[in-house]
Amino acid sequence: MNQISTRYVTEGEACYEQYVISDPAAKTELVITPERGGMITGFTLDGDEYIWVRRPNFSECNRPRFAVPILFPSCSNPDGGVHIFDGKPYPMETHGLADLCPWEVDSVGPDGVTLMLQSTPLTKFLYPFDFTLLVTYNLAGRTATIDLTVINDGDKPMPFSFGYHPYFVASKLENVDFDIHCATCSEDAKGEQPAAPEKITLTRKEGADNSIRLLTGVEFPMVFTDSGNGHKVTVDADDSFTNGVLWQQDAESFVCMEPWNGWANSVNEEGRHEVLEPDEAMTSTWSITIDKV
């Protein structure tokens, strides 16, 4: 049975309350920081950290480029940096707004830790809809489960996409091997997507400072192993998620293996996003399992 506790940590000049879900029998610990985008900010197995944290980004006000950001109401960037709703342009940050906001603790109990984010006048400047997001984190053995419920609190249909951007600790790119099956694989979200090769790899072009693979028709789970640090990470997801992204940045010790519901600009494109009618809700589930190899 897992245990839930709280603690306070200092990052830069800021102090954060964290919720820690631990499974003593499995020697695992999941850390959630509500104020920092409602994110998972740590996941350890026998004291070994699997989630990568960028400092001083942790304590900065800008978009988190570490841990496990929640992407809502869009993934990646809309064309021109704007969504068009009712013929009007609304500016939108890369990957949406949810990861920029502090979340509130809704409940703590046997089902885990549930956080809540509700629309405000500021969020409606970017995304003109009334909504509630509920994310529930739980831990069983070596598997962390994440449930996201999106609720339309308004009086008009609400379009959106969602996803996650987990940063996993990696020794170096050459040591990472992926086991992923999908329909297409490319480096560019625009245009026709080419069929995926039999073996998905993440390699860097000469002169590039990062590597990316954009995947559609993903048959979850996605798995990677790292021969350098002995980590194995499995990302599984329900049918809400059909896309995935692999990303790595030069000189940084991480690999991102991301489950996405959306796609770049999909909220602006008919038939490529979710729509909730007033008072409707949608729940999605995905998980992270950590192991040693």
Query: Residue 52: CB partners within 8 Å, gap ≥ 6?
Result: 66, 67, 167, 168, 169, 170, 252, 253, 254
CA distances from 43 to 47, 71, 137, 152, 288 (A): 9, 19, 12, 31, 9
What count of other Cβ atoms lies within 10 Å of the Cβ of residue 230? 13
Residue 86: φ, ψ to 5°: 50, 35
Position 205 scores a pLDDT of 76
Residue type present at position 114: T
Q: For 22-44, b where at least 16 C-beta lie within 10 A, e where not — what string?
A: bbeebebbbbbbbbbbbbbbbbb
Fold of 3-292: Beta-galactosidase; Chain A, domain 5 (2.70.98)
Query: What residue ranges of the chain have pLDDT lower than 50?
Result: none
The number of C-alpha atoms within 13 Å of 30 and in the hemisphere containing its C-beta is 28
pTM of structure: 0.97
In order, the DSSP letters of 77-107 are --GGGEEEETTEEEE--TTBSGGGSPPEEEE
CA-nearest of 193, 194, 213, 210 to 202 is 213
CA distance 160 to 158: 7
Query: Residue 15: CB partners within 8 Å, gap ≥ 6?
Result: 8, 9
Domain ranges of the chain: 3-292
CA distance 284 to 117: 16
Q: Report the DSSP pairing between strands 70-71 and 163-164.
A: antiparallel
